Amino acid sequence: MVTIKDIAKRLGIAPSTVSKGLNDANDISPELKQLVLDTAIEMGYVTKRMKKETRKRLCVFIENMRYEQSRHFGFDIILGFRQAAVRDNWDITIVPITPDLQLEDPYDRYMVKNNYHGGFLVGFALKDPWMEQLKTTTIPTVLFDNYITKNSNVAYVGTDSFEGIDLAIDHLTALGHTQIALLNGSLNSMVTAHRYDAYIASMQSHQLQVNENLVAYGHYVEDSAKYHMPSLIKNGATAILCGNDLLAVGIIRECEKLHIKIPTDLSIIGYDNLPIAAEISPALTTINQDRINLGRNAYAALFWLIAKVPISRSLLRPQLIVRDTTAKPKSSYHRVRYSSQSSQRLQSNL
Amino acid sequence: MVTIKDIAKRLGIAPSTVSKGLNDANDISPELKQLVLDTAIEMGYVTKRMKKETRKRLCVFIENMRYEQSRHFGFDIILGFRQAAVRDNWDITIVPITPDLQLEDPYDRYMVKNNYHGGFLVGFALKDPWMEQLKTTTIPTVLFDNYITKNSNVAYVGTDSFEGIDLAIDHLTALGHTQIALLNGSLNSMVTAHRYDAYIASMQSHQLQVNENLVAYGHYVEDSAKYHMPSLIKNGATAILCGNDLLAVGIIRECEKLHIKIPTDLSIIGYDNLPIAAEISPALTTINQDRINLGRNAYAALFWLIAKVPISRSLLRPQLIVRDTTAKPKSSYHRVRYSSQSSQRLQSNL
């Protein structure tokens, strides 16, 4: 159980100052108040005021994504959203959702019934029942990584996938790679489509031939990697650009089993910069998504929509984080695609 | 003269904690340290470390655009920006700029020399000297209707041109138009390129043939319209979609002279929704850009950049405003392209 003393210790201020921050006292600056609230939320402290608030309510729906622990992709997004929303005294409810639950109630009815003033939808798939309904919703709604045309009640927030993929291909081509594979995520997702389009555009702008045999679609989970790696490598990939870090981790584990050396034999780039990217060995070169600020940005967009400002989209820049999974490709002469042993193991995976 | 005690009082913490913050002590959280420094700077407290800090200053540069009166496009953008910035006590300077002035000083040197913490650049052309320098600037900078790749110090704000053009073409096709012309603005502009791409994409998505003879580039001023109208109409246009309201006003005036009836003989759609769009007769159907909120959005983006949040782009939705310049096209049988008198007048304009 987090106490006021814990928050005070963390911030290096007196417990009485923390109390002032939590109780909206007048003799403490708004900025320090916000910092106290941010920290309290991050540490899991629940204030009396937060318990009392029932009138102003926002709902975060999350699907197809883990968010319970800090190592999960959704965790910081929701944390950032809650940190930003608390200053306006919103009560935030987190609802894990499924297509079946969406079929029980239309989106607008669900929101009105539960007295939610706005929604933040994270991880929705293109075919989700509510996605169609969002084209005409009257409820202020922010989508993470999804876009709805021509409805000024709905905004899209995310990280610019085009620049992310382009940064990765800049890096790989600077190292000398030309046979760059894309191991993409699930087809039923807008960012998957964006990253494919970005890959094609970036390969072309780098004067590289696109080879469709070097493109595969899996799912955004580690276990998916092994089904796709063999054909990418057999088709000559010297580098694999992955749709997220989990896929990249799957590739690293598979390479371990098959005695393929990273980055000597194969370069790998992830996407997202989850904590595991820094922890795994070799540490993963990846594209950072600033998830705390994505959450804050989502709240800012929702705040604007509620104020009738027709925000359409608000995107953050990705950042390339170079670690240990990328290097020059072997020269063609020295390249050993597979030892016969690796080859046999691969066959059994196909 | 501001003292440590004043800062402590303002923040509601002990003077000793303020000292720790100012002296970079280790037993105070980085967030609180930042807050102490921010507050000290804001209150005008001066230490050796802060000697260079004076007043918090932002600069708005404006070019190729009128902004002095409320009927001008730039007026509300700057007003919205100033309204939003004033709450954070920024000192705002408005600087009309030219390519020559840009050649006198590189952008970063100009900003540092004048002690500006950030810039908002409105109306810049693609070939402006500073545009190239923005690729590597370290100064937080927001561009209206311009985009710089891969520099996390620079953000782009504007209205989604793709949706704007698509709304206009939705409206015209619903009325029965198929011969839709685009009278675009200056070539040396990002939005001009976006609106052309949007026109092509939207025509195709409406299953309409693109006829390049129905596309013309002028300048974003009224006088430009008359040079391009004749060929658009001779090539069969039943509707002209204009790059801004001023071009549309030019078309209306030209039609008056030539006794072409609007909207019976020709439909016209503007872009921007300037005050003149509602005042002119017939009142102009147009695409609204919410300029006050564009200005506010620009400040919000600049605020984030200054706080090191890598905002990439933040766009508002456009809105179709239907007035009196759009109607069903004449059936082919009844359509009279030009009276011989009109035709003669047109010749003299070519």
> Is a pLDDT exceeding 90 seen at residue B199?
yes
| B181: nearest Cα among B219, B234, B227 | B234
A14, A25, A314: residue with CB nearest B314: A314
Q: Tell me which chain B residues have a C-beta less than 8 angstroms from the C-beta of A316.
A: 309-312
| B280: nearest Cα among B292, B270, B266 | B270
Q: Is the peptide bond before A310 cis (omega within 30 degrees of 0)?
A: no
- How remote is the C-alpha of A257 from its chain's centroid? 28
Q: Tell me which chain B residues have a C-beta less than 8 angstroms from the C-beta of A20.
A: 12
Do A309 and B316 make contact, defined as CB atoms within 8 angstroms? yes
Sheet holding A311-316, edge to edge: A91-96, A57-62, A118-122, A141-144, A154-159, A311-316, B311-316, B154-159, B141-144, B118-122, B57-62, B91-96
Q: Which of A4-13, A127-136, A333-342, B188-197 has the lowest mean pLDDT?
A: A333-342
DSSP letters, A197-223, are HHHHHHHHHTT----GGGEEE--SSGG
Kindly identify which residue of chain B lies nearest to residue A161, measuring between CA atoms.
B312
Strand partners, A182: A215, A241
Q: Tell me which chain A residues have a C-beta less than 8 angstroms from the C-beta of B160.
A: 312-313
Cβ atoms of B62 and B76 closer than 8 Å: no
pLDDT of residue A350: 38
> Is a pLDDT exceeding 90 seen at residue A286?
yes
pLDDT of residue A25: 84
Residues written for chain A: 350
**Percent of chain B whose predicted confidence (pLDDT) is above 90:** 77
Report how far apart the first and last C-alpha atoms of chain A are (Å, whole number). Answer: 49
Residues 6+ apart with CB under 8 A from B199: B165, B169, B182, B184, B210, B215, B241
> Is a pLDDT exceeding 50 seen at residue B53?
no
Q: State the Cα angle at A293 between A288 and A299, rounded to 5°.
A: 140
When pLDDT is averaged across residues A157-170 and rounded to a whole number, the result is 98
pTM of the model: 0.81
**Percent of chain B whose predicted confidence (pLDDT) is above 70:** 90
Q: For residue A159, give how far its alpha carbon lies from the nearest alpha carbon of chain B (Å).
A: 8
pLDDT of residue B28: 87
B10, B28, B319: residue with CB nearest A29: B10
pLDDT tens by residue, A12-37: 999 999 988 888 788 888 888 888 88
When pLDDT is averaged across residues B306-312 and rounded to a whole number, the result is 95
Q: What is the DSSP letter of B307?
A: T
When pLDDT is averaged across residues A208-215 and rounded to a whole number, the result is 97
When pLDDT is averaged across residues A193-219 and rounded to a whole number, the result is 97
Model-level ipTM above the cut of 0.85: no
When pLDDT is averaged across residues A209-215 and rounded to a whole number, the result is 97
Kindly identify which residue of chain B lies nearest to residue A29, measuring between CA atoms.
B11
When pLDDT is averaged across residues B305-326 and rounded to a whole number, the result is 97
pLDDT of residue B343: 46
> Is a pLDDT exceeding 80 seen at residue A314?
yes
> Is a pLDDT exceeding 50 seen at residue A188?
yes
Do B309 and A297 make contact, defined as CB atoms within 8 angstroms? yes
B9, B29, B313: residue with CB nearest A315: B313
Do B11 and A25 make contact, defined as CB atoms within 8 angstroms? no
Q: How far is CA A72 from CA A58, A69, A272, in A?
A: 22, 5, 10
Residue to test with chain A: of B18, B151, B159, B314, most A Cβ within 10 A: B314
Q: B156: which 2 tokens?
A: 């782009």
CA–CA gap between residue B60 and residue B118 (Å, rounded): 9
Q: Helical H runs in B187-327? A: 190-205, 225-234, 245-257, 275-279, 291-306
Chain B contacts to A (CB-CB under 8 A): 9-14, 17, 20, 27-29, 31-32, 35, 38-39, 149-150, 152, 159-160, 163, 166-167, 290, 293, 296-297, 300, 304, 309-317, 319
pLDDT of residue A49: 59
| A145: nearest Cα among A165, A128, A121 | A121
Cβ atoms of B108 and B139 closer than 8 Å: yes
> Is a pLDDT exceeding 50 seen at residue A340?
no
Q: How far is CA A81 from CA A16, A68, A121, A296, B311, in A?
A: 27, 15, 12, 5, 16
Do A296 and B309 make contact, defined as CB atoms within 8 angstroms? yes
Fill in the amino acid letter for A223: D
> Is a pLDDT exceeding 60 seen at residue B274?
yes
pLDDT tens by residue, A215-243: 999 999 999 999 999 999 999 999 999 99
Residues 6+ apart with CB under 8 A from A279: none
> Is a pLDDT exceeding 90 seen at residue A45?
no
Coarse DSSP helix, strand, coil percentages of chain B, rounded to the nearest 5 percent: 45, 15, 40
pLDDT category at B40 given cuts 50, 70, 90 is confident
CA–CA gap between residue B269 and residue B247 (Å, rounded): 10
CA–CA gap between residue A102 and residue A104 (Å, rounded): 5
* CA atoms within a 13 Å half-sphere pointing along the CA-CB vector of A308: 3
Q: Tell me which chain B residues have a C-beta less than 8 angstroms from the C-beta of A311.
A: 297, 314-317
B14, B167, B315: residue with CB nearest A313: B315
